[in-house]
């Protein structure tokens, strides 16, 4: 693994903010000032393919990256686009049930929660 790739991986593992590729670039640039945006994009894709990180595809928003590779769900603020982990277990038994009922081989599912984060909710409440 190249030094650049290792720094990108460390940056993602340290953060719980689920950054976009551009945000990863901003963070990594503090440590490797000469890294290019293209290098960051390329390494993020490679790390995701290697299973070292997760690429999170969200409906109607930029892809985000997660240093936590265990399966988990996310909750997204529709106002500021903040993304947090949703505190719940995964729904493997539902996959099995649907597979059994439809005879599909289920390979995965997507579940995304949306709402207003605590900060945006405070602002919204102040305004009323
Ligand atoms: Zn928010
Ligand atoms: Zn996450």
Cα(68) to ligand 2 centroid in Å equals: 6
The residue extents of the domains of the chain are: 1-69, 71-128
**Band of the pLDDT at 110, cuts 50, 70, 90?**
confident
**Residue-averaged pLDDT of the chain:** 92
Cα(82) to ligand 1 centroid in Å equals: 6
The domain defined by 1-69 carries CATH number 1.10.10.10: yes
**Band of the pLDDT at 42, cuts 50, 70, 90?**
very high
Question: Residues within 5 Å of ion ligand 2 by Cβ?
Answer: 66, 85
pLDDT of residue 128: 60
The domain defined by 71-128 carries CATH number 3.40.50.410: no
> Which one of the ligands is nearest to 80 CA?
1
* CA-CA-CA-CA dihedral for 45, 47, 50, 53, to nearest 10: -110
pLDDT, one tens digit per residue, over 46-99 is: 999 999 999 998 877 789 999 999 999 999 999 999 999 999 988 888 999 999
Mean pLDDT score, 14-42: 95
> Which one of the ligands is nearest to 85 CA?
2
**Band of the pLDDT at 124, cuts 50, 70, 90?**
confident
**Rounded percentage of the chain residues whose pLDDT exceeds 70:** 98
The pTM score is: 0.84
pLDDT at 29 over 80: yes
> Which one of the ligands is nearest to 77 CA?
1
């Amino acid at each position: 693994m190249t030094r650049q790739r290792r720094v990108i991986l460390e940056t993602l593992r340290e953060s719980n903010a689920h950054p976009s590729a551009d945000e990863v670039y901003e963070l990594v640039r503090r440590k490797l000032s000469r890294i290019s945006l293209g290098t960051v994009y390329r390494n993020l894709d490679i790390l995701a393919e290697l299973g070292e990180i997760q690429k999170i595809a969200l409906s109607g928003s930029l892809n985000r990256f997660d240093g936590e590779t265990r399966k988990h769900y996310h909750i997204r603020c529709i106002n500021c686009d903040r993304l947090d982990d949703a505190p719940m277990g995964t729904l493997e038994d539902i996959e099995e049930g649907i597979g059994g009922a439809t005879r599909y081989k289920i390979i995965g599912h997507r579940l995304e929660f949306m709402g207003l984060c605590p900060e945006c909710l405070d602002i919204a409440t102040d305004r009323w």
